[in-house]
Structure 1
Amino acid sequence: MKNPPQDFLPVHGGQLRLIAARYGVPVEQLVDFSANINPAGPPVSALAALNRALADPATLAAYPDLELAELKKTLAETSKILSENIAVANGFVPLLEATLRSFRIARCLLPVPSFSEYRRTLANEGVEVVPYCLSQENGFSYALDSLLQAVLEEGCDAILLANPQNPSGVLCEAERMQRFIEMAAEHRIKVLIDEAFMDYVPAESLTQAAVEQENLIVFHSVTKFFAIPGLRVAYAVSSTSTIEDLNRRLAPWPVTTLASSAVCAALQDDAYAEETRRKNSLRRTWLEQELARLKIITYPSSTNFLLLRFAKEMDAPLIWERMLVEHQIVLRSCTNFEGLAAGHLRAAVRSEADNERLVDGLKRVLAR
């Protein structure tokens, strides 16, 4: 079996229809470990909110609230900040685009490996990107003193970080990150932090700090943790003046009434959130242990995904394809993660049954 062509491999997770068409596999037979979506599915509370909204014809006949007042109020209450410190959009990218224009960023340090949309968005906005390779030996953790030194030496006016880091899932503790932000502020360096997976370790979030730090903006994705990515909702938190400027740069009506209703309900479902964190921790620990028995290295993730490193003699793209064709399991190809050495694949943490199926499939593929 030949390796899948590099120009075919999806640049994002969750592209099951594309993969099914390419390999002639019924899409309903595929088990998706490539997208880091909560395996519990959407909260019942969110589904109920959607049903109530659809029962009222006015939901679809009227424009959404231009100010998104109820959504911002709910986000503010759950984040323990004020609505005036929140900007909302239909995904992370529009918020990052608006931030780059608002901060007038010209040159940005980008630690890699990282989510491919970071570089793409920076480049599309005319920002010069300076990649900084993280150490695989240190598990892709942030050496903050070295990062600040690199920012200054390279003449950057900003740095874009993910915390927890993607694709490794490694967390940088809030206390360490706070010191870095304060040092960056002394040099007028803007710090942009994507906390897309911080819902799994909310105590380490810098959301509240972003309100006070003029050089800091924090981004959040609502939809991954609550398993509603089809609704496309993200938000940014920063100082009042920064958020005012961001809101002027965002397109009107960025979020639908249906999405707003579902997210408001999901955010207030504390039982769902607590159970998600509990189960994810147990499942991730089990999966780490089972993968270790197969001699597959993983990194210390704080999220709902694991970055897998295979031995040098193993062909990761071929493993990816065999898992798909022979076991109908879709892993995340990591070939488009800049700065990530060959031999890596990423796997979401799913249900117990799915995780067992993943381990069994890998065991069979590696034994050949």
Structure 2
Amino acid sequence: MPDTHGGNIFKFAYDHHINPSDICDFSANINPLGPSQKGLEALSNRLNYISHYPDPTNDDVLNAVADVYGVNKDSILIGNGAAELLFAIGRLPEFTGSFVPAPGFSEYRASMDAAHIPVRDIFYRQRQDEKGVPYFEIPYLALQTFAAKLKGQDGRIIVFLGNPNNPDGTLLDKNSIDTLANMLHDANSLLVIDESFIDFIGNDSLCDNSYSMRSLINHHDNVIIIHSFTKFYAVPGLRIGAAFANASLIQKLSAFIPSWSVNTLSQAYISAAVNDSNYIKNTKEVLASEAEYMYKSLSAIENLIVYKPSANYILIEIKNSNITVDDVQRNLDEYKVLIRNCANYNGLGPQWMRIAIKDHEHNVELIRLLSAIFEK
């Protein structure tokens, strides 16, 4: 199947001769509350400025992000979504290889392919804990062993990891990552951690999120944290993200970001939205409740293996090899519901799907539909 992401409601609408607004999209992992009203008001107030160039320094965004996330302005680079920043990393000179998680976000590999940097997979291992709960295990030892072998060699690599990883939601262990970052530094290599969904996790403030690896940039000059604002703040149509890293590394990376990369409306929206404390609090409360509901409800459906969510999406494997996600999607088409087929993730296959966690009404309806499909 083609290497596509979720969220292509326009193609689905065109193919099925319906309006995009009629679709219930569980394929894209976006905040179920929708955009921040404070952000939308700020955006609306800036509409008259679209006849002018946006601020090329992104200064308002930098000030807001630095304050909310507790990072020095010199250690932040703003880009046109996380994807632009990933592709900019690929343009850093003299890297000879890379590692990407499997399963993992396809743009890691795409950014390396565009830069003609060879890619190897980091295969996460399917495991069960003592209670039989499934999870994915990160092969830290294998990565550390490879990094140790690189020391003193000519090769330089880029290691990509998700925190949480997409599509399985696996979170990184800070001690293991700190060790890996040190070993990669000794090998003159780079560690890139994608935290596009980190804001959904935990009840702490965005600055104090104990699950984030962001503090590592204060101790390692070879660590880049990628942060998307479009998922948590529900504006994937605007495109805006950030990279957090040592100031020297940020300066090098900024050379590969075009002028005026981030538009005026994105700048206005995010500058206000990151300071919308009620919106942030409500998002975390709704997600905590709905994630628990969805996990329990999906786990009760026979023939499904459900991975416990850490963020706003859930990975599911169909036990019955005679049923594929294509079969499930065909059944859901009648109800104008989209899910994410994970067959194109390395390490998964046609029995794997990912669903976003939405508002309660839509979540209840999806559970009803999936229950009916697997009872047939």
Task: Specify if TM > 0.5.
Answer: yes
Alignment check: 8 A CA contact 1:85 1:211 kept? no
Match of 1:225 in 2: 232
Match of 1:177 in 2: 177
Structure 1 residue 151: Cα displacement: 4.7
Once structures 1 and 2 are overlaid, which stretch shifts more, 208-217 or 223-232? 208-217
Q: Distance in 1 between matches of 2:20 and 2:274?
A: 31
Query: Number of paired residues?
Result: 358
1:80 corresponds to which of 65, 70, 79: 70
Q: Distance in 2 between matches of 1:238 and 1:275?
A: 29
Structure 1 residue 158: Cα displacement: 2.1
- The one-letter code matched in structure 2 to 1:29 is D
Alignment check: 8 A CA contact 1:141 1:171 kept? no
2:108 corresponds to which of 118, 133, 139: 118
Structure 1 residue 156: Cα displacement: 5.8
Once structures 1 and 2 are overlaid, which stretch shifts more, 337-346 or 41-50? 337-346
Verify: 1:362 aligned to 2:358, yes or no.
no
Alignment check: 8 A CA contact 1:108 1:129 kept? yes
Match of 1:328 in 2: 336
Verify: 1:312 aligned to 2:315, yes or no.
no
Once structures 1 and 2 are overlaid, which stretch shifts more, 145-154 or 228-237? 145-154
Deviation readout 1:292-320 (Å, 9 max, x if unpaired): 11032121321100001111334223333
- The one-letter code matched in structure 2 to 1:123 is D
1:146 corresponds to which of 137, 142, 148: 142
Scaled by the length of structure 2, what TM-score is found? 0.90
Deviation readout 1:106-163 (Å, 9 max, x if unpaired): 2001121111111111111111001122112262231312222245568662211111
Verify: 1:67 aligned to 2:31, yes or no.
no
Q: Distance in 1 between matches of 2:285 and 2:175?
A: 24
1:265 corresponds to which of 248, 268, 272: 272
Verify: 1:27 aligned to 2:13, yes or no.
no
SS at structure 2 position matched to 1:274: helix
Q: Distance in 2 between matches of 1:130 and 1:341?
A: 19
Q: Distance in 1 between matches of 2:18 and 2:46?
A: 36
SS at structure 1 position matched to 2:43: helix
2:289 corresponds to which of 282, 287, 292: 282
Scaled by the length of structure 1, what TM-score is found? 0.92
Identity %: 28
Structure 1 residue 364: Cα displacement: 0.9
1:99 corresponds to which of 73, 89, 93: 89
- Aligned-residue Cα RMSD (Å) equals 1.9
Verify: 1:255 aligned to 2:262, yes or no.
yes
Q: Distance in 1 between matches of 2:217 and 2:74?
A: 12
- The runs of 5 or more residues in structure 2 that have no matched partner are 129-134, 202-208
- The one-letter code matched in structure 2 to 1:274 is K
SS at structure 2 position matched to 1:272: helix
Q: Distance in 1 between matches of 2:218 and 2:254?
A: 15
Alignment check: 8 A CA contact 1:42 1:228 kept? yes
1:46 corresponds to which of 28, 39, 43: 39
Q: Distance in 1 between matches of 2:305 and 2:275?
A: 37
- The runs of 5 or more residues in structure 1 that have no matched partner are 1-5
Once structures 1 and 2 are overlaid, which stretch shifts more, 273-282 or 315-324? 315-324
Q: Distance in 2 between matches of 1:230 and 1:318?
A: 27
1:298 corresponds to which of 286, 306, 314: 306
